[in-house]
Amino acid sequence: MTRIAFMCLAAIAAPVLAQSQPAKPEGQMTFEGEIVKNRPNEAIKATPLIPREVLFGNPERSRVTISPDGQTISWLAPNEGVMNIWVAPVADVKAGRCITADKRRGIRQYQWAYNGMILYMQDEGGDENWKVFAVNPQGGPAKDLTPFTEIKGPDGKPITMPDGRPLRPRAEIEHISKRFPDVILIGLNNRNPRHHDLYRCNIKTGELTLVQKNDEYDGFLVDDDFTIRLAMQTQRDGSMNLLKADGKGGFAFSETIPQEDSMTTRPAGFDASGKTLYWTETRGRNTAALIAVDMASGAKTVLAEDAKADVSGSIAHPETGKVQAVSFNYDRERWVFVDDTIRPDIEVLQKTAEGDVIVSGRSQNDTRWTVAFRPDNGPIRYYVYDRAAKKAEYLFSNQPKLETMPLSRMTPVVITSRDGLNLVSYLTVPTQYDRNNDGRPDAGPIPMVLMVHGGPWARDAWGYNPYHQWLANRGYAVLSVNYRGSTGFGKSFINAGDGQWAGKMHDDLIDAVNWAVDQKIAKKDRVGIMGGSYGGYATLVGLTFTPEVFACGVDIVGPSSLTTLLENIPPYWYPFLPQLTTRVGDHRTPEGRKFLDSRSPLNFVDRIARPLLIGQGANDPRVKQQEADQIVAAMQKKGIPVTYVLFPDEGHGFQRPENNKSFNAVTEQFLSQHLGGASEPITNDFDGSSITIPAGADLVYGLTEALSSKK
């Protein structure tokens, strides 16, 4: 079922050179003290700058997994600079070869089918209207399994978006089963844009067969026989009804998940027999436990639970589908074993390499696994694990160049909010300022960037984070806060965010900044705020609702008006609209619109007194370009400076490395000007990027010159 989520080293750079202050456009207001006079100190000057190309370019390899027969491993890697799928025999990784031919956007998600073919998803320019493709690792072109380009209305005419372009359908892989190796189940909204019909799809021929027409349900739960067992339907109050299939295409009411549990209670899937249904469950408890329901008797068994954290992941047997281990993540991940036969394997792996263990693939006979290790201060390392020998063989890392770079450690910290909530947070202090590794600057406070995660129904977690490493390397402390509304810490913590956009959710961020200042980590007058999606919104809130706190802000694909955000959701979000209106506010009523307007930065631009950088994708289906355009226009009308970066071939975030690097090059110069950290000059960072600057290019050092020399 669809889940809403706003929301995703060799060369040493030359020393930072003094640069002239950009000229101010005639008639435009300026910010007092907006250009930092004290340039980077000796400690940061002496630290080699990690090139942005290494931090934000394509990884050398990523997303390693193994074929069902255990003979082939696969991964994503660049081919002519674009991420594609590669395969190799397990015994000969050096014989890897590319099997796809994406030339533009790059492939980011794929999986093996049980017949030995590979399935992958791709959208167009970041619009998230996914297509499903199948490719044979033995050779041959990829096959488009969902070759639809438009959705037709009842009159037979294509439905168009406000800009006149046709509304494109969106496909989802719903289920694969070893019992039908040549067939998968696909959800497709090419008939009704708000709901996905369910189809059987032959991945060899592309033949589609309708299984379930859908005009009212959020989604379906099927078993390995491809039998629909359950349907989900969100109600007007944000609760969810669960309905049992009658086997004739109809459904009968079974039970209700109350609104307060709707983010944390879900049927998760059946075992291979179809006799056991797994749930994450908070009804009658606060944190989500994993429970097993016997479908014949209705008996429920709690398999694993944690008093502080929700279930965050699980490992199931590849043949039986029985859950064997469950993970919980409060400040760090820990595993609970449901089946002790897997305990020795995980314990061996935990001693193999540093970092959290990720089992990324298992052969069908369970003799071979692919495993990833994610540390906080190094690249992800991939291994093939032999279960019989209890031995893991190293393959490669995703970014070997990071091995020699001056990376910093990430420290979990728990900050108490003003009303007593525990905010699990992650602090990275530059290694050059933290010689004793205690997570505090050795010689007093330094500039800090508050990185706000998107969602807001998501979370930050421990592990390698390129943004933390990048900013720390430039001389900033970096703090990421799981503010109320974040997931993973129980339903009370999520529900505490209801109705609190720009309210108590923002208070949590301010409390975290005050904590960092009190702990002598952050300089009070040198704190920036930055984030994407909800994090972008939080940035705009920071500069309008608390304009004295932050020295500058970087908003990436953040909504500026909650009213227009909700008015322009994608069609396939409509089944979940009650969740949004009960948790954010209801734009359909006068009272609701008044409330949403009171929490919308667009209506308070006259309060902005600190520099702002905005990044936006023109094809963003979640936070439309309108959100950026309208706040930029409002600021320009009042003569308030703003720099606006727009990518015509991106959506909700910047996927193409060329675009991501170019925006981060702008961001780095912007932060250096206003917080005082080091910066790697913009040189060829714009080459190959679609970057445009509709406003404020002259406000950032070197930006106008870089645009003029872009290739």
> For 79-89, what is each residue's pLDDT tens digit?
999 999 999 99
Counting beta carbons within 10 angstroms of the beta carbon of residue 205, is it exposed (0 to 12), middle (13 to 18) or buried (19 or more)? exposed
pLDDT of residue 20: 30
Whole-number percent of the chain with pLDDT over 90: 88
Q: How far is CA 28 from CA 640, 662, 673, 696, 698, in A?
A: 7, 26, 18, 11, 12
Tokens of 54: 């290494």
Per-residue confidence band for 40, with pLDDT thresholds at 50, 70 and 90: low
Angle, CA 306 vertex, CA 303 and CA 308 arms, to 5°:
160
**What SS3 string covers 329-352?**
ECCCEEEEECCHHHHHHHHHHHCC
pLDDT digits (tens, 9 = 90+) for 223-247: 999 999 999 999 999 999 999 999 8
pLDDT digits (tens, 9 = 90+) for 376-429: 999 999 999 999 999 999 999 999 999 999 999 999 999 999 999 999 999 999
CA 432 – CA 479 distance, rounded (Å): 17
CA 331 – CA 469 distance, rounded (Å): 19
CA 642 – CA 628 distance, rounded (Å): 11
Q: How far is CA 452 from CA 4, 512, 534, in A?
A: 18, 11, 8
**Contact (CB, 8 A) for 539 and 578:** no
Give CA 3 to chain center in angstroms: 12
Q: How many residues does the chain have?
A: 711
**Contact (CB, 8 A) for 585 and 499:** yes
Q: How far is CA 169 from CA 124, 132, 188, 395, in A?
A: 11, 11, 7, 39
pLDDT of residue 487: 98
Which residues, at least 6 apart from 298, have a Cβ–Cβ distance to it below 8 Å? none
Residue 596 reports pLDDT greater than 90: yes
Residue 168 reports pLDDT greater than 60: yes
Question: Strand, coil or helix: what is 565?
Answer: helix
pLDDT of residue 36: 57
Catalytic residue among 652, 662, 679, 685: 652
pLDDT digits (tens, 9 = 90+) for 700-711: 999 999 998 887
Residue 438 reports pLDDT greater than 90: no
Would the CA dihedral through 66, 72, 73, 74 be positive or negative?
negative
Burial 427-441 (b: 16+ CB within 10 A, else e): bbbbbbbbeeeebbb
Angle, CA 16 vertex, CA 13 and CA 20 arms, to 5°:
140
Query: 């930006």: which residue's tokens?
Result: 703
pLDDT of residue 47: 81
Upper half-sphere CA count for residue 469 (Cβ side, 13 Å): 26
CA nearest 395: which of 369, 377, 363, 356? 369
Q: Report the mean per-residue pLDDT for the chain.
A: 92
Angle, CA 65 vertex, CA 121 and CA 395 arms, to 5°:
135
Residue 22 reports pLDDT greater than 80: no
In 10 A of CB 530, how many CB atoms?
A: 26
pLDDT of residue 45: 64
CA 478 – CA 554 distance, rounded (Å): 14
Counting beta carbons within 10 angstroms of the beta carbon of residue 663, is it exposed (0 to 12), middle (13 to 18) or buried (19 or more)? buried
Phi, psi of 278 (to 5 degrees): -95, 140
pLDDT of residue 569: 95
- Is 123 among the residues known to form the active site? no
State the architecture of 42-56+413-570+579-708 in CATH terms: 3-Layer(aba) Sandwich (3.40)
Question: Strand, coil or helix: what is 143?
Answer: strand
Catalytic residue among 620, 629, 649, 685: 620
Per-residue confidence band for 27, with pLDDT thresholds at 50, 70 and 90: very low
Lowest model confidence (mean pLDDT) among 13-27, 122-136, 494-508, 613-627: 13-27
pLDDT of residue 26: 38
CA nearest 486: which of 425, 552, 567? 425
Query: 């309060």: which residue's tokens?
Result: 607
Per-residue confidence band for 38, with pLDDT thresholds at 50, 70 and 90: very low
CA 583 – CA 494 distance, rounded (Å): 10
Query: 């609970």: which residue's tokens?
Result: 336
State the architecture of 62-402 in CATH terms: 7 Propeller (2.130)
pLDDT of residue 152: 87
**Contact (CB, 8 A) for 76 and 108:** yes
CA 83 – CA 249 distance, rounded (Å): 41
CA 238 – CA 354 distance, rounded (Å): 42
pLDDT of residue 389: 96
CA 127 – CA 122 distance, rounded (Å): 10
In 10 A of CB 448, how many CB atoms?
A: 27
CA 286 – CA 249 distance, rounded (Å): 35
Residue 21 reports pLDDT greater than 50: no
Which value, in Å, is the radius of gyration of the alpha carbons in the chain? 25
pLDDT of residue 162: 76
Would the CA dihedral through 16, 19, 24, 29 be positive or negative?
positive
**Contact (CB, 8 A) for 483 and 564:** no
pLDDT digits (tens, 9 = 90+) for 266-307: 999 999 999 999 999 999 999 999 999 999 999 999 999 999
CA 513 – CA 529 distance, rounded (Å): 10
pLDDT digits (tens, 9 = 90+) for 526-579: 999 999 999 999 999 999 999 999 999 999 999 999 999 999 999 999 999 999
pLDDT of residue 66: 98
Type of residue numbered 479: L
Catalytic residue among 533, 600, 672, 689: 533
CA nearest 584: which of 562, 554, 564? 562
The residues spanned by each domain of the chain are 42-56+413-570+579-708, 62-402
Angle, CA 479 vertex, CA 475 and CA 481 arms, to 5°:
170
**Contact (CB, 8 A) for 427 and 477:** yes
Query: 């631009």: which residue's tokens?
Result: 605
- Is 587 among the residues known to form the active site? no
pLDDT digits (tens, 9 = 90+) for 50-63: 999 999 999 999 99
pLDDT (average), residues 23-38: 46
**Contact (CB, 8 A) for 357 and 390:** no
Helix (H) or strand (E) holding 626: helix 625-637
Q: What is the longest distance spanned by two Cα atoms in the chain?
A: 76
pLDDT (average), residues 662-679: 96
- Is 196 among the residues known to form the active site? no
pLDDT (average), residues 606-616: 98
CA nearest 337: which of 350, 351, 349, 323? 323
pLDDT (average), residues 517-533: 97
- What are the helix and strand counts (H, E) for the chain? 13, 36
